[in-house]
């Protein structure tokens, strides 16, 4: 029995109401597949039910694949028989395997960093969190007000920077983000010049992280105007 047949058999056994109220992950009778609908995201649209990221696990190998599917509620039999819930049935209208985005999250390493220009300045790089097809990080100082939001992938199409004129010209050797705080004080090489909304770029070299400033006021640049070099002292 393949994965699609396992889902069809599962619905035939428990029905949609049972799925919503009582069913837990279980092996589908007559198969080696375990279906975990309680771990999926379920939304409705008209007479369709959208179910995202349904985990289907092979109980012998432990391998799990994820699927998106759309169930359509449709009548069966003749029109004058459409009076009770039993006169309708669900059918799988759409079906596709969910592919997790292949994003190199190892470009930057979450953890605690120390400034090379001033050892008392330390930073936390937190994340990642998946947003659409990119990874979100936060870089924040532990002992003063600096904080930046970093999102993986190229500057072109970047959620925060994609609308800026310079986005298509920023080098692909950085992970891009922007300053998200107003600083009242500062530490080390990150000073009052690093204003809210300024572009920052992060680049990793082993355990070192270079943080560059690519904006001054309302002007953006393709090369850093200032930079701070950090060393990883404790990874997550």
The DSSP annotation for 30-94 comes to TSSEEE-GGGSEEEEETTEEEEEEEEEEETTT--EEEEEEEEEEEE-S-GGGTTSGGGEEEEEEE
Q: How far apart are CA 123 and CA 115, in angstroms?
A: 8
**Contact present, 112 and 234 (Cβ < 8 Å):** yes
Tell me the two tokens of residue 54.
């349904």
Closest CA to 146 of 101, 193, 107, 210: 193
Q: How far apart are CA 7 and CA 9, in angstroms?
A: 5
CA distances in angstroms from 105 to 99, 135, 158, 212, listed in the order given: 16, 7, 16, 19
pLDDT, mean of residues 172-177: 92
Q: What is the pLDDT of residue 18?
A: 46
Q: How far apart are CA 34 and CA 158, in angstroms?
A: 38
Q: What is the pLDDT of residues 178-222, one digit of tens each?
A: 999 876 677 888 888 899 999 999 998 888 999 999 999 889 999
Whether the pTM exceeds 0.95: the reply is no
Q: What is the pLDDT of residue 73?
A: 76
Q: What is the pLDDT of residue 106?
A: 43
Q: What is the pLDDT of residue 22?
A: 44
**Contact present, 124 and 115 (Cβ < 8 Å):** no
Q: What is the pLDDT of residues 96-148, one digit of tens each?
A: 877 665 545 347 889 999 999 888 899 999 988 888 788 899 999 998 889 99
Q: What is the pLDDT of residue 8?
A: 56
Tell me the two tokens of residue 14.
């428990």
pLDDT for 16 beyond 90: no
Q: What is the pLDDT of residues 56-105, one digit of tens each?
A: 888 787 777 888 888 887 777 666 655 666 666 777 778 787 766 554 53
Task: Specify the range with the lowest mean pLDDT, choosing from 24-33, 59-68, 76-85, 151-160.
Answer: 76-85
pLDDT, mean of residues 156-169: 92
What φ, ψ does residue 79 adopt, rounded to 5°? -60, -40
């Amino acid at each position: 029995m393949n994965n699609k047949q396992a889902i069809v058999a599962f619905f035939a056994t428990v029905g949609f109401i049972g799925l919503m109220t009582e069913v837990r992950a279980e092996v589908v009778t007559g198969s080696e597949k375990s279906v975990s609908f309680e771990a999926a995201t379920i939304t409705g649209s008209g007479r369709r039910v959208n179910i995202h990221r349904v985990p289907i696990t092979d109980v012998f190998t432990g391998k799990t694949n994820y699927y998106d599917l759309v169930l359509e509620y449709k009548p069966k039999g003749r029109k004058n028989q459409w009076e009770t819930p039993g006169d309708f049935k669900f059918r799988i209208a759409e079906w596709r395997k969910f592919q997790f985005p292949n994003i190199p999250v190892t470009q930057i390493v979450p953890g605690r960093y120390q400034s090379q220009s001033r050892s008392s300045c330390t930073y936390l790089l937190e994340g990642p969190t998946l947003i659409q097809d990119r990874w979100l990080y936060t870089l924040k100082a532990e002992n003063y007000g600096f904080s930046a939001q970093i999102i993986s992938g190229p500057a072109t199409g970047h959620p925060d920077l994609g609308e800026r004129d310079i986005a298509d010209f920023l080098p692909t050797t950085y992970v891009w983000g922007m300053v998200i705080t107003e600083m009242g004080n500062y530490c080390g090489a990150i000073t009052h010049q690093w204003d809210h909304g300024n572009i920052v770029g992060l680049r990793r070299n082993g355990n070192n992280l270079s943080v560059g400033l690519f904006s001054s006021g309302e002007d953006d640049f393709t090369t850093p105007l200032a930079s701070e070099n950090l060393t990883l002292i404790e990874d997550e």
